[in-house]
Chain A
Amino acid sequence: MSARDATVIARTVSRIVFPLILLTAFALLLQGHNRPGGGFIAGVLTAVAFALLMIIFGFDYIEDEILGRDMDDTRAAALTIVTDNSLVFALGLALAVGSGLVAMAFGLPFLTQTVVFLHDLPVYHELELASAFVFDLGVYLVVVGALLTVLTVVGAE
């Protein structure tokens, strides 16, 4: 699980694959309302991408190179990541609940959703802006945060 175990091939492939997975996940999140996808699966996919990084490069790498923090102690590093991740799922939960509360501000039942269509756009031609997307984004963040928490905690053991 640390950097020295991974082969060059594994390191190189993960470097290339990591952004691709994130991109796919993001696409799944965006198209969820109309085609297969959605917040949950996009969240799991994102978590998989980070899990790959952790397995191949280890925590220290993520701390030093991605987050730009200097950590000496692996355990302390893991705990910092845990804190960050818990912030992510807390934010997600707040977003999901908040999107429901907005509907109440308009005098509608909790979690009522609506949609707006934008027409005649370049490239897209027609874009659907569903309020459900905000809720879905909340789901996404909760899943990402929670799964990464579990991964880092279990991984640090």
Chain B
Amino acid sequence: MVGRPGSGGIAFTLAQAGTDPAATALFAALGLPFLAALLVPLVHRALGERTAWFAALVALVSFGLVASQYGAQGAVTLPWIPTLGISLTLYLDGLSLLISLLASGVGVLIFTYSAGYMHDEPGKARYYATLLAFMGSMLGVALASDLIALFVFWELTSITSFGLVGHYRDSESAQSAARQALIVTVSGGLFMLVGFILLAYASEVAFGTPTFTLIGGPDSMIANADAMRTALRETGLFLPVLGLVALGAAAKSAQVPLHFWLPSAMEAPTPVSAFLHSATMVKAGVFLVGRTRPLLTGEEWMVLFASLGLLTMTVTAIRALGATDIKELLAYSTASHLGLITAGFGFTNQLGAETGAFHILNHALFKATLFLVAGIIAHEAGTRALDELGGLRHDLPLVGVITAIAALGMAGVPPFNGFYSKELLFEAAYETAHELGGLAWTFPVVAVVGSVFTFLYSIRFLWLFMGAKPDSLGEVHSPSYALVAPPAVLAGLAMVVGIDPQLAVDAIVQSAFASTVAGEAHSMSVYLPTYLSPAVAMSAVTIAAGIALSPFYDRLHDGVRWLSRGPATATWWYDGAVVGLEHASAVSLPRLQTGRFRTAAVWLLGSTVVLVLTGYAAAGVSLPAFTGLSITAPVVVILAVAVLAAAAIGIAPSHVAGVLTLSILGFMVALFFVLASAPDLALTQLVVETLVLVIFLLVLDKLPAFYGEASRSNVVRDAVLAAGVGLTVCLTVLVATAPSPDTIAGFFVETAPLPEGGGGGNIVNVILVDFRAFDTLGEISVVAMAAVSVITLIAMRGRGESS
């Protein structure tokens, strides 16, 4: 099932050896968290504090269900929107297995930890429900093979995380952080959606029928990656699709310059940060990069993702040096490591894919641990400020050991887990540079520079437990078991990976790596280096430079803080954009909405006219030819009167005269209907016209009787607008009523005596109540709704204010 090391050149992968996964297990694993989220309010009422254990149990069951499919590979499908070729297809392979095991497995630990951490926090029912729904969404992202389903789950993670980041409702900064995260990740997701739709379009070019299935099955995009790439290039869509997908992934995975939301999102409760910002949500972005890698890989791919990843890795590692809060440090570090994963997937050689797949696992293990440790420190020491903390090993010895394992892994020190994947990155960067030469040598250099900073801040975090305890730091309590056990488990796993990396590779990383490679994946082997290779030399340089620079940490910290001000930070641009938009809308709104009906009508009608006419122009609509046109004398007379009436409205001296003249127009139209053999329509028109007249008179009773003097410019503006609206309506009627060859009228006339057996002599009515009764039902619902709105808007207007 999994390639063994040294099994001789080409390994066999899951794709060949796997069996189909059980549909029930996958759908149950996906649906269970959502179902449980719905039940949380009831459970919380019954269990109170122990809701955490319920949620942990749900996560454990999901974990078990996914784990039971270990070794299986394939797609299971549930029809969703068959007419559009959209289905809820779940696809299990190494990569989705890795991500979904991380989401549910770390989920179990996070819920356990929450039992200890969220003791005195507000809104626990909301917290657990949202976190469960979030976990379900994340499983959906990992498992979805249909692009639309993937998008839906993707945005669901954004929405649920919005609730989680903004958990503290009273905190202004938490609310703004939640908004920021939502705006960045959701808008990134929308760009991604456009990319997906373009992909579906390209699939139509490639296969003849459009598909949204990304992977799984012989008709999927990845199974036909070459044809898809050719189609994308032929239609000139390759770069747009690559850019749009990258934008979605970069926004979600906090890549530069969209990284700023991640440190802000640290306003969330610490378990949320540990879950969302280390193991799950931000992993969605790099998961997407890995998932689309076999489809879009190529030269542009390498330039884009390797540069983006390495840049993010270095910039955010430097920013981490400027952090004053332990969670802020971890947040920047998370963005940095996501950069590492992105860069890994970016390199088109197989070493790059190895880096990405392995570091997803390693990063989740050490970063979730460190976040949980940060939570323990904040909980027990009462502060998260780096300056105020130190010497914690005296009070928290076990936590110190846990931290050492995780922080050294993060620093990339052998033999801890992060070392191996970073080593793979160095190899991948070196190989690429060696192959391409020239500018490509920047890649290994930047990778080393970024890693030096990574080493520095990792050691700084570990230093919280070393040195002397500051006097200002009060008593540090011992944490409860629920708080210590989860990070201990994670650190234990990280330790196992560190001691025997090949075990983790064989268990899961190999198959995850194979999923991100186009074509055959070689067998992956990871071990402690015993001879000097370029990558080992790079690691040695990194560690040596890190140790040499560490005495100057405080100066570097001050320098970074001094540099990261104003326009040098992405936050500054974000705030500027938000403030600018608010200002622009505050300035423009009084012009658009003066509170006068006249202004509103001008903008509404004007924009409608422009949009409709532009739409016609863009769609290349041509006017239908006039056929069967016969004009009789009565029609001419009636229409002439109507035109006269229309002209007279413009010069009517009072409201009442205007309304009456308008009615003349209406009644002429009714008469025209009579002549055009549409008695039903004529009758309706007559009655409605009467009613409109009545309503007008009711309202006019309260208005001043005469118009004011209109300025010449206003008259011209109104005339132009009126002409525009008239033209648009006229065009629309002509286009919409163009006789089509197979007119539907014949069908109605033939089938008209409906219900069968006779009756129903009035076709209009038969259409309304028989053929299209559902439409009519919809229409009367709209009428009823309009009446309800009138009641709420006008009749109830006074009540809210007076009471």
Contact = CB atoms under 8 A, between A and B. Distances in A.
A32 B765 contact: yes
A48 B691 contact: yes
Contacts of B773: 100, 111, 113, 132, 135
A114 B755 contact: yes
B768 interface: yes
Contact of B761 (A34, A139, A151): A34
B611 interface: no
B760 A130 contact: yes
Contacts of A41: 680, 683-684, 687
B762 A36 contact: yes
A147 B784 CA distance: 9
Interface in A107-148: 110-115, 117, 128, 130-132, 135-136, 138-139, 142-143, 145-147
A38 B765 contact: yes
Contacts of B694: 48, 51-52, 55, 151
A157 B698 CA distance: 10
B780 A153 contact: no
A127 B766 CA distance: 17
A38 B773 CA distance: 13
Contact of A139 (B690, B758, B762, B780): B780
B780 A96 contact: yes
B777 A111 contact: yes
Interface residues of B, number: 44
Contacts of A35: 761-762
A93 interface: yes
Contact of B762 (A34, A93, A131): A34
Given A48-B694, A86-B791, A146-B786, A92 B780 contact: yes
A155 B769 CA distance: 32
Contacts of B761: 33-35
Contact of B780 (A1, A32, A93, A128): A93
B765 A153 contact: no
Interface in B630-684: 679-680, 683-684
Given A41-B684, A86-B788, A113-B769, A33 B759 contact: yes
Nearest to B694: A51
B712 interface: no
Contacts of A115: 755, 757-760
A55 B786 contact: no
B489 interface: no
Interface in A34-59: 34-41, 44-45, 47-48, 51-52, 55
B776 interface: yes
B760 A143 contact: no
B787 A150 contact: yes
B764 A38 contact: yes
B795 A79 contact: yes
B337 to A, nearest CB: 56
A32 B760 CA distance: 8
A91 B485 CA distance: 61
A90 interface: yes
B531 interface: no
A153 B791 contact: yes
Given A33-B760, A150-B787, A154-B698, A142 B774 contact: no
B770 interface: yes
A101 to B, nearest CB: 11
Interface string A87-110: 001101100110010000000001
B499 interface: no
A94 to B, nearest CB: 10
Given A113-B754, A150-B790, A44 B687 contact: yes
Q: How large is the interface on A (under 10, 10 to 19, 20 to 34, 35 or more residues)?
A: 35 or more
A44 to B, nearest CB: 5
A93 B784 contact: yes
Interface in B691-737: 691, 694-695, 697-699, 701-702
B680 A36 contact: yes
Given A38-B764, A113-B754, A44 B684 contact: yes
A151 B695 contact: yes
Contacts of A77: none
A27 B760 CA distance: 16
Contacts of B679: 36
A131 B754 CA distance: 11
B781 interface: yes
B398 interface: no
Given A38-B764, A114-B755, A115-B755, A86 B787 contact: yes
B744 interface: no
A138 B758 contact: no
B698 A1 contact: yes
B783 interface: yes
B795 A135 contact: no
B688 interface: yes
Nearest to B773: A111
Interface in B763-803: 764-766, 768-770, 773-774, 776-777, 780-781, 783-784, 786-788, 790-791, 794-795
Given A1-B698, A38-B768, A154 B794 contact: yes
A132 B780 contact: no
Contacts of B699: 154
Contacts of A156: 795
A110 B774 CA distance: 8
A34 B765 CA distance: 8
A143 to B, nearest CB: 6
A145 B788 CA distance: 10
A138 B780 contact: yes
B772 to A, nearest CB: 10
Contacts of A153: 790-791, 794-795
Contact of A147 (B680, B691, B755, B765): B691
Interface string B152-186: 00000000000000000000000000000000000
A5 to B, nearest CB: 9
Contacts of B690: 48
B790 A37 contact: no
5 contacts: A34-B762, A89-B787, A139-B780, A146-B787, A150-B786
For the complex of A and B, the 4 pairs showing the least CB-CB separation, nearest first, are A34-B761, A146-B787, A132-B769, A142-B780
Interface of A: 1, 28, 32-41, 44-45, 47-48, 51-52, 55, 78-79, 82, 85-86, 89-90, 92-93, 96-97, 100, 110-115, 117, 128, 130-132, 135-136, 138-139, 142-143, 145-147, 149-151, 153-157
Given A40-B768, A48-B687, A114-B755, 9 more contacts: A35-B761, A40-B684, A41-B680, A41-B687, A51-B698, A89-B784, A132-B755, A132-B766, A150-B790
